[in-house]
Amino acid sequence: MASSDPHKPFDAIGMQPSGQDSAVHLQDAAESSQPWQPAPISHQQTAQDPEYTTLDEDDDEDAAQDLVSDSGFDSGSLLGDETDTLASSILNHRMENGRQYHAYRDGAYWGPNDELAKEILDFAHHMYLLTLDQKLFLAPIQDPQTILDCGTGTGIWAIDMADQYPSATVIGTDLSPIQPEWVPPNCLFEIDDVSLDWTFPPNHFDFIHIRELFGCIPDWDFFFQQAFEHTKPGGYIEIVEHSVQPVSDDDSMGPDHFYHTWGKVVIEMGKKFGKSFTIWEESAERIRRAGFVDVVVVDYKWPMNGWPTESKQKNIGRWNQLRLMDGVEGFMLRLLTQVGGWSIARAQLHLAQMRKELKSYRTHAYLPGTVVYARKPLSA
């Protein structure tokens, strides 16, 4: 059964504090020189144990190449004539309107994966730590041994969890190979599309973490069914998402304010793209339908800038302003031009208007969000 009081303030939930906010080493990635067609890929281990192997002088150059990798992915797992093309397809990227995007399942995700995009993802991680009082999660998990981070991005959350739970195996999946090479030995990264059938064993994970997958999943009910199937009985799922439509609790954001236009355009682009941006307000009901129980919803607010007087919200707002000022192009450029059919000039004017509004402290707007967690029944 669902919790009788599903909405709780996060500070009322006793959780273990997280470790420090990890610093992620960002890597350069090469632009893809050839178009690539999506192909199936099995799960590959991508984190390496940082040990050194000494080569004898007689070893040939090819053997040395086998032991050296310039990416965060285990080169040995991609060796062989039949996988050379696959490896190149995954590790290469494509350029579009001056931004770099992933090559694996090209076009499945709207955001770039270049250095600026990775920085924005890490800004968001810092904001979530501020929001949740330095906690990495709110679900009442106890000594998890198998943890999955869906859409891990730079891998910063997975790395922090691996540090916090050294006996656990933490797997982060993503479409982009942008995670660092030097990670805790219990942290693994895999290239995968979690919107497809999962290939993990059933009843496998103690904890499944989902954060900022808005606009990424074409069928959320299927996705949560997969998550339910692969969660251990008694294990937990947690979904952390926020709205893309700024709102205000006072009359500072009139009916003609640009923030209304911004939100409507994002929602419209998501519908055309076939991947919703409204999961923040739908996840509780959807995971109930999937079979999870004891559903808890924790609400939070991200101010659009530093307009609040309360110190915590003001700090979060300043970070959100920075994240959006630097990130709106990556957030919307592909959607506006490739999905919406806008010209580059029209798109850039739209983004410039958003940046202008972000500088105004007269509008007391914020992005509402939810942390939703639930348990898989022991009898399931």
* Segment 117-135 mean pLDDT: 95
* Segment 306-327 mean pLDDT: 96
- Beta pairing, strands 231-242 & 365-375: antiparallel
pLDDT given for residue 284 in this prediction: 98
Query: Residue by residue, what is the 3-state secondary structure of the chain?
Result: CCCCCCECCHHHCCCCCCCCCCCCCCCCCCECCCCCCCCCCCCCCCCCCCCCCCCCCCCCHHHHHHCCCCCCCCHHHHCCHHHHHHHHHHHCEEEECCEEEECCCCCCCCCCCCHHHHHHHHHHHHHHHHHCCCCCCCCCCCCCCEEEEECCCCCHHHHHHHHHCCCCEEEEEECCCCCCCCCCCCEEEEECCCCCCCCCCCCCEEEEEEECCCCCCCCHHHHHHHHHHHEEEEEEEEEEEECCCCEECCCCCCCCCHHHHHHHHHHHHHHHHCCCCCHHHCHHHHHHHHCCEEEEEEEEEEECCCCCCCHHHHHHHHHHHHHHHHHHHHHHHHHHHHHCCCCHHHHHHHHHHHHHHHCCCCCCEEEEEEEEEEECCCCC
**pLDDT by residue (tens digit) across 86-123?**
455 666 677 777 777 766 666 666 667 778 888 999 99
- Beta pairing, strands 293-303 & 247-248: unpaired
pLDDT given for residue 144 in this prediction: 98
**Superfamily for domain range 10-242+280-304:** Vaccinia Virus protein VP39 (3.40.50.150)
* Segment 40-57 mean pLDDT: 38
CA–CA dist 114, 193 (Å, integer): 19
Lowest-pLDDT range of 42-46, 124-128, 190-194, 326-330: 42-46
Higher-pLDDT residue of 64, 157: 157
**pLDDT by residue (tens digit) across 66-94?**
433 333 333 333 333 333 344 556 666 77
